[in-house]
Structures are given as structure tokens and as C-alpha cells.
Structure 1
Amino acid sequence: MKLEKRRLTSEASPQPATSLGGISNNDFAAIVPVISGQIGGRETNIASAKALHKAMGVGRDYSTWLSERIKEYEFEQGVDYVIFDSPNPGNQSTEFNQCSENWKTKRGGDRRSKDHGISLSMAKELAMVERNEQGRAVRRYFIQCEEALSRSVPEIAAQYRRQLKARIGAANLFKPMCAALDAARAELGKQTLPRHYSTESNMIARIVLGGLTAKQWAQVNGIEDEPRDSMTAEQLEHLTYLESTNITLIDMGMDYHPRKAELIRLSQRWLAKRLGVNHA
């Protein structure tokens, strides 16, 4: 995406986030922090590129990944992004401080690790081209959150943040669950085929979605895209809990049918606890 070029009078001047529906004051800052600031003298919302890199589970190191994306998609400093000193020297894990005094424009001679403050438009495109579940979930969040913030409804923005957190959690656990299944079957001298992964995924989906697989649930609800993108935060949190528990049960050597029974039992307990919290 090549954005419209503008004459710029300054690089950046980040300001404390005082709106954004509480984005700066909740635990979403651990995923993709957003603050109110300036790019090229324009007031806008900016996000930490390091935080985005971590949330999307990019395999390459941060500097290489971002440099290549900037070149490939012709993002421009002062138009699409600005460069800041990372609050913690050498920290590549995206611990991002929301206080504007810790976001300082990068200056020569400073060896602290640098971060990039990127526009939400740039963030959406970076998420879109990453082509993984985490990237798609992050992009969906930015789109939804922008719509909600434009209507000044912080409650909706908070709902989308919760859904993104749950969506990433579910995406992050699928591969480890498959790896656990591979290892368990290998110990028994068995080969793991694609249908075995589908069986595990469908088992958990049926527990969460009232007996339907994710594909069946999407068809019933007229959903054409990835089913998990349309699940509620509670459904995704339920799914994440069961995926995590299933990994433990597989590691314990439990066979499929006993695992299924145990997951159903634990699922009912999980739902009962949630119901108790919601009615407290």
C-alpha cells in the first residue's frame, strides 16, 4: 500500500493517551499498545511495531521483519511511522510503556533498542500480509476498534480487545496441541495423519459449539470466513482452556475416549464457574 505523500514539518510527538476507551489503562497493553500521538505533525493513534511483531508470532527477528516490510510496501518514516527509543534497553519482547515520557524520538548516539510507532493503517496492513491466524485477528481488532472508537463507545472497544486476546490465545495453542499428539503417537510407534489433527480439533469444537464442528457451526450461522474469527470471546476462551487442558491430558498418555470424557467434565465445571462469576 502506497500512501499519499505529504510535506512533513516534524517526525513525532507522542502524547499521553487520554481517550481510546481505556486502551492505555488495561491489560491489552500487553498485546498491542495504542497511544494518541503524532506522525508528521498529524494527530493520530499509533501502535508499537514491536508489540505487533510479538502478538502475530512472526518467526523472523523484529528488525529484519520490519525493514523488509517497510521496503516491500513502501511505508515512509514521518508518514506511516516514527522511530522511538524502546523503554527497556535491548528488550525485544515488546514491553511497551504507555507513558509518553518513555516514548522518546530516536536520536543519534543512543544505543537503546528502538521501537517504531506505526499508524493503525500501517498496522492493519502488516497484520494482513502476515497471513497467519494471529495476524488476521490483530487486523480484525484494529478495524473493529477504529469503528468503535469513532463512535466513542469504549465498552465496545473493550469487548473487541477481549476477543482479540482470546483469539490469539486459541491460535497459539493449536500447534502445541498437534505437537503433543505427534509425540504421544510416536511413542506408541504410530504415524500421525492430518485426520488425527482434525479429530482433536473437532472434538474440542463440538464441546464448545453444542455438538457442531467449527465448519458446521459456520454453515449454520452463515459464516463464510474462518469460523474462529466470528466466535465470541467466551467461546474462544472456552476453546483455549480446552486446548490447553487437552495438551496436558495427551502428555499424560490418556487415550482419546477417556480424554474426551474428561474434557467434557472439565468443560462443564469451567462453564459453571463462569456462570457463577457472571452472576456474582
Structure 2
Amino acid sequence: MNQKKITALTGSGQTQPETSPNDIGDKDLANLVPVIVGQIGGRDNNVVSAKALHAALDIGRDFSTWFAERVEEYGFVRGVDYFTDDDMAVAWLMNDQYSPVSGKNKGRGRPQKDYFPNIATAKELAMVERNEQGRAVRRYFIRCEEELIRSAPEIAARLRQQLRARITAANLYKPMCAALESARAEQGKETQGHHYSTESNMIAKMVLGGLTARQWAQVNGVQGEPRDSMNADQLEHLAYLESTNITLIEMGMDYYRRKSELIRLSQRWLAKRVGGAE
């Protein structure tokens, strides 16, 4: 997976919320579990060190066993909900015992493998511990998210746009498949799985520079559903073409005529988007 170097939110223009030392005894959560920025599935995410989280939760169980059991129990997916320090040479910036150059503890040999869950996953990990530490850590993560929204509204706006585009694209895929199935039924033809994938790949290639969604995910190191990692422009382009394709199918156009028309309309859509950005 192609990961960006992570940087701490504190000291980099991002404001960390204040935390009370009484949240978990005398512990300062902002120092114990700092929120940092990394990439999961090709997108920037706020993440934390699972080892730091494990220590703050005071679980009393072996770290690796605890995390592996939680991943299996709650279905967390590597590359979607978390990444590991195998995915990149992670420098845990808040721990000066870790060498970002060699990837080894200074004077201690190779460090124990760490994992970096996103904030949503970290909140769930804290919540399921069902203890005072877990509740305090979860509240801390919520405050971190609220502070990020206040201090970086443009990031929050971009995420909302991406979410709206993702939902729109999801809402159009099934109707497109239904329109295709109905049109083929009227012609006395049975619709099989490869017919749907051919339709989907045709549109994806127009959006993703000639690559299918699966190929694009492989090139970009994306795991899980490719659409979850597409940006808002790609998703809006995809939704536009799927919506248009439904109309063309219902008009009775065959695959090759639809493809030609969609290519033309796709180029016009892109030209308008570029022109509007200037």
C-alpha cells in the first residue's frame, strides 16, 4: 500500500482539544494517544497507534492478541479501518524511543508490530472495553473530531461532499442494473453476471483513465470497495454517467451506441468541470 508519511496533529497547525488529567486518573490523553494523520486506502485519515490506545485503556492483556481478537470479532478490514507499520516505515512521532530511519527501537532491537486504526475504529475499540478508561478515551476521540471540524472546516466540507457523492453513486448502480435487465428481458435475453460487470467497467474506464475499478484499486493500493476510496469528482462523474446510462438503456440503445454517447457526454462533463474550476 502506498502510504504517506504521517504527521502529528499537534504542532502542525491542527489544534488538539484540551483534556482533563482526571479523565483517566492523572493521565493526559492528548499525550498518551495523540491523533496523527496517515493514509488508509489512498485517503488521508486521522489515526492513532493501537499500542498507545492499548496502554491507555489499561486492558491487562497481550497487545497483539487483543488487537487480533478485536479485528476478527468486529470485522475490521486492513486498508479500510486500519493500516499497519508493515504498510509503510511508520515513525511514531510522539515516542523518541522509535527511530523513523531504521524502524527499530534504539538499543532494543526490532519493535513490536503496531497497527493504526482510524478514529471511528479507535472509538469502537475503546467503547467495547466497557470500563471507565474506554469511556474516557471515546469521549476524547469525539472531542478531537469536533475540534478538527472547527479548526479545518474546508476539510469537513470536502468530506461531506465526498459522502454525498458516494451515496448518490450507490443509489444509481442498482437502478442501472435493473434497467439493463428489463431491456434485455424485453428482447427475450437472459441477463447474467458478466453483463452487469461489462456495463460497470465501461463507465469506470471513462472515469478512471481507462482502468476498471478493480484495476484502479490495485494500481493505487486500495483495499476493500474501490468506490469508498474515490474522490468526490470521480464519484460525481460516475453518478452522472450511470444516471445517463439508465436513460440511454430505456431509450433502447444497444451497448455500442450507448458507449459512444457516454464517451461524448463524459468528455463534455469533464470540460465543463475544468472550465468551472478556472
Q: Report the TM-score, using the length of structure 2 for normalisation.
A: 0.48
Q: Report the TM-score, using the length of structure 1 for normalisation.
A: 0.48
> Which structure is higher in RCO with an 8 Å CA cutoff and minimum separation 6?
2
Larger-Rg structure: 2
